[in-house]
Structure 1
């Protein structure tokens, strides 16, 4: 976990500007959904890419989640200049 701005993100890679969030059933509530949406927008202001996954997706399909993360890492590393100065 890593504090960024007023938030604590689940996983963070400063070199890639990549945040990975893992959501449980509490995120199904409308209030929490709206909070997550604002949180994602706030973090994106720092130029971060946010990937969100449900707990169940990770538990039941870790290989698929891994492929999504790998694809995003490849996209970032092959289409962007190196990131520096990340919080």
Structure 2
């Protein structure tokens, strides 16, 4: 199995309190009827929340994120559409 998928499953299982609170608002099309996925693989990254139809990614940054890595991740995700 792809390592990204295993990692995404682990992240969904071990989500933070903030991710859990936001997910409770996004799940089941609760936000404007939009379908969101959580901890979804996009290229080589795993994004916190993804809405394919709206072409929207939501990242809840924590201490593991830096400006340099955030910029690189943003460019890659934008290139994916």
TM normalised by structure 1 equals 0.46
Greater strand proportion: 1
TM normalised by structure 2 equals 0.49
Q: Does 1 or 2 have the higher relative contact order (CA < 8 Å, sep 6+)?
A: 1
Greater helix proportion: 1
Larger radius of gyration: 1
